[in-house]
Structure 1
């Protein structure tokens, strides 16, 4: 995709060639006008710009040429200029309804013909489609959002003005990371964010975390994704040593510059396993530990009643995820949204699968996907092949040492008094076959009783009864647990143990806290 320098080169060539009609596709009107202004000065191009607020003015002299600020008035003035002089370029910035056959589109077509006869050039800045017969009279150019290199240049240039005036702790590595974080937004949005940091009269290395949060706030109201508010104290995970070590290796690569090696940033992970063993909690913990915004994509809500609606909704949601990157995208129970491809009569699911797979494979945005599933057998096999997710991990019921860790996390969270070690050991023994969610439910009941009678007044028998009253999935639906465990060989044990070690035990190691 063209960056600013490439766009500038194309614009210059089109103006030199006197292309009669040029469509500039961009959401950054100001940035494109900056490019035109630089060219007007450097190459002495005669460029006029029309805006509804100022009318028609000369780019170099800034002189206003007409009191009529309307679009139709500007079109009339452009026609007069083309007939009276040559090599004039007129730029229109506020054009509506140019995507179909109407009076405005036909007026532009007539003006483009006149421009061709007199060596004139019309430039229309828009983010909307243009009527095809009109577009075929000229050329089209796209100014994308600043790429990483251009964003780094803008960040360095902006902060250079404040060197010596405020302390700036950023070095080359921090500038690289800042550029990576700010990619996906406009130049003016990036500079506005940096201005808020300058206003506090210092630029610290720790501000990189705040930079991510500031960028995230720009997209907080966008449709298509649900923003998940994170509380680090509520997203602690016990166990999962293998998964956590794997994530520790991936984290620095998410914002590293990998272009010289022709590699993309880590794409994500698929978590499968027994319900209640921390798959969803792990998604929250990853975003919390990595200090990145977390967005949840509910594939079930993507489906619409009208033809093409589902595909458009998914496309918009994924485009939003690309825009807010770097971020973590959480897709919970992915099998419920993508299962059944090829079997539905409308073909909607199949098209959604294809669209999602293409994005997963081709998008270069720094979006780390955490997808969870209880049963991957219903998922399209092409989703599971290498190159989609970086790896797939299996989460099983926690082993005794993990249950001790998880119970300890919740006891410290919900009680204000220490619990004797021998009591904790008894709770670990009584929780054989518990999932992480079962442990949470049992300790929560103890916490409620502590609120009612006081922490010091909860009898030890109540602790034991709270655990005895829980009926874990392993007891209520043992066949379901065993069915899910048949998938162990398809994934890496999240516990960090080898597959042989996993098979050797009666219960499996894993999860939450």
Structure 2
């Protein structure tokens, strides 16, 4: 008899919810139950719990290595381990008794219509007439002709709460054997970092760390590295290696704003109604620290930094770009907590009438992810050409905040000069020279200052000296540079005009005490 049961695939994130659904399907005598998961061992534990709960039914499992066994007692039912023998045993058992369930794993050739999938479909129809059920554990989709005869449920990887219990259980087992500094907060933090990988992978990571006989709080930083090795090459995003010397000159208001977001990113929010911070959009003059800020945030917070190349997302074929973006954002959710850096976001999300609607679909998909994602993925997006950005991306609430990164003022330029003199020359600027160089660098971007000080350091290195050139020569190095403001005066003015009233200033807000500015305001004031 052909079943009229439609296929329903339910995605659930909780092991308890999955267990409840499977138990309901079994009590309803659904003839085919497909559990989609990349963790067959975890599914088998779930099924043993269900079998122990529903004692009125018999459960048998089959694997290619051990053949047919009773699911609860693990008693072997025969020596033949082939799938054909298992299906024949199921046929005989279904006809002899009611309420019998067979769990099948490692079944090949089920993705398409094959002799195996057709044979299994016939067995499902027999099970239905005999009040039996076949439970398939699969990591890939099953042929529609087979799947439509039953119900499907997709078991996701463990939630953070489930990983907390797993990690805590392992740590409890090693108390007295391994020196463990982790308390409840560290276990929770570790679980958050590992969220997105399988239970087995999480166990392997923790056991590898415990093999050192000492689990320190500082070891939490290693979890992201282990997680990277688990995922390998992630679709659409790349890990950006971080140095130890990321320092940003100026941008004090941005740095002050980030303090609370760091607290939220590292806090356990499961007992609150707060959601993790979404991220920040940095708009402004090229070379003034937008990209450097993304690296500095990740370094300061102790989180991995991933870069999403929006230009590389764009594909040749219809639907390819959307698929790549969806995969990349899903990968970012899996590796969370992390900082996700999107450089020059306008390159992919600018509106265009000649792309067949691709840009509009990408914008919609990206905005949906921004709104719905609950992972601790802190987005740092940068933009230079803001005129092409879609208005819906800039609406309040998309990002936590938008900051305008302007050319550094005199105070910020002095800080940047001192920073690069320390980095490249390992020395401090004499006070009288610092004041002169601050005046000489009026209109310079941070990268302009970086390039000049680096050039001075290069000249000193090639000459084999650690002595600064004469002050007149130093002034000449800076005086010979055409700063960005002078060469792109119209672009800078347009950026400032756009940012006025839309963005917070990333640097020190201008006040009435600064010459050439209007009265003080929370928003950017155009000079």
TM-score scaled by length of structure 2: 0.90
Q: C-alpha distance in 2, partners of 1:499/1:56?
A: 79
Equivalent of residue 484 in structure 2, options 464, 473, 490: 473
8 Å CA contact retained: 1:493, 1:502: no
Distance 1:111 1:462, change over 3 A: farther
Specify the alignment match of 2:60 in structure 1.
48
Aligned to 2:6: none
**Aligned structure 1 segments of 4 or more residues deviating by more than 4 angstroms:** 498-506
**Which residue number in structure 2 is paired with residue 307 of structure 1?**
318
Out of 122, 129, 136, the residue aligned to residue 110 of structure 1 is 122
Cα separation, 2, equivalents of 1:72 and 1:311: 42
Q: What's the counterpart of residue 111 of structure 2?
A: 99
For 1:107 and 1:21, the matched residues in 2 are separated by 13
**Which runs of 5 or more structure 1 residues have no equivalent in the other structure?**
none
Report if the CA contact (8 A) 2:510-2:517 is conserved. no
- Tell me which of 407, 422, 429 is aligned to 1:412: 422
CA deviation digits over 1:2-29, x for unaligned, max 9?
A: 4011111222222233221001022221
**Superposition map of 1:18-417 within 5 A:** 18-44=29-55, 45-233=57-245, 235-341=246-352, 343-417=353-427
Q: Distance in 1 between matches of 2:389 and 2:511?
A: 23
Q: Is the 8 A contact 1:26 1:125 kept in 2?
A: yes
* Alpha-carbon separation, structure 1, partners of 2:511 and 2:358: 38
- 1:417–1:282 CA distance, 2 compared to 1 (3 A): closer
Report the Cα offset of residue 137 of structure 1.
1.5
Moved more, 263-272 or 158-167: 158-167
Single out whichever of 438-447 and 40-49 deviates more from structure 2: 40-49
Q: Residues of 1 paired with 2:232 and 2:466: CA distance? A: 40
- Which is worse superposed, 271-280 or 160-169? 160-169
The alpha-carbon deviation at position 337 of structure 1 amounts to 0.7
Q: CA deviation at 1:359?
A: 0.7
Three-state SS of the structure 2 residue aligned to 1:133 is: helix
Displacement, 1:417? 4.4
Query: Which residues of 2 match residues 431-470 of structure 1 at below 5 A?
Result: 431-453=441-463, 454-456=465-467, 458-470=469-481
Between the aligned partners of 1:315 and 1:98, the Cα distance in structure 2 is 26
Distance 1:362 1:504 in 2: 44
Deviations 1:198-243 (A, max 9, x none): 111122222222223322332242231111111021x210111111
Post-superposition offset of 1:170? 2.2
Tell me the secondary structure at the aligned position of residue 112 of structure 2: coil
Question: Is the 8 Å Cα contact of residues 493 and 499 (structure 1) preserved in structure 2?
Answer: no
Q: Does structure 1 conserve the Cα–Cα contact (< 8 Å) formed by 2:280 and 2:403?
A: yes
Q: Is the 8 A contact 1:277 1:397 kept in 2?
A: yes
Map Cα deviations across residues 427-475 of structure 1 (whole Å, 9 max, x no partner). Answer: 2211110000100010010110111111226333332222122211111
Higher helix share goes to which structure? 1
Greater alpha carbon shift after TM alignment, 130-139 vs 16-25: 130-139
Contact 2:13/2:157 (8 A) holds in 1: no
Instruction: Provide the alpha-carbon RMSD of the alignment.
Output: 2.3
CA distance in structure 2 between the aligned counterparts of 1:265 and 1:118, rounded to whole angstroms: 51
The 8 Å contact of residues 255 and 265 in structure 1, kept in 2 or not, is answered as no
Q: CA deviation at 1:345?
A: 4.3
Does the 8 Å contact 1:92/1:123 carry over to 2?
A: yes
> In structure 2, what is the Cα distance between the partners aligned to 1:473 and 1:50?
70
Conservation of the 8 A alpha-carbon contact between 1:417 and 1:456: no
Measure, in 2, the Cα distance between the counterparts of 1:6 and 1:284: 39
Residue 504 of structure 1: how far off its partner (Å): 4.5
Could you give the per-residue CA deviations for residues 283-323 of structure 1, whole angstroms, max 9, x where no partner exists? 11111111111111111111111222111111111111010
- Structure 2: runs of 5+ lacking an equivalent: 1-11
Give 1:128 shift: 2.1
The 2-side partners of 1:499 and 1:79 are apart by 84
Q: Deviations over 1:29-75 (max 9, x none)?
A: 11111111233344445322233333333323334445444444433
Query: Could you tell me how far apart the structure 1 residues matched to 2:17 and 2:207 are?
Result: 27
CA contact (8 A) 1:394 1:494 kept: yes
How many angstroms does 1:102 deviate by?
Answer: 2.9
| Partner residue in 2 for 1:428 | 438
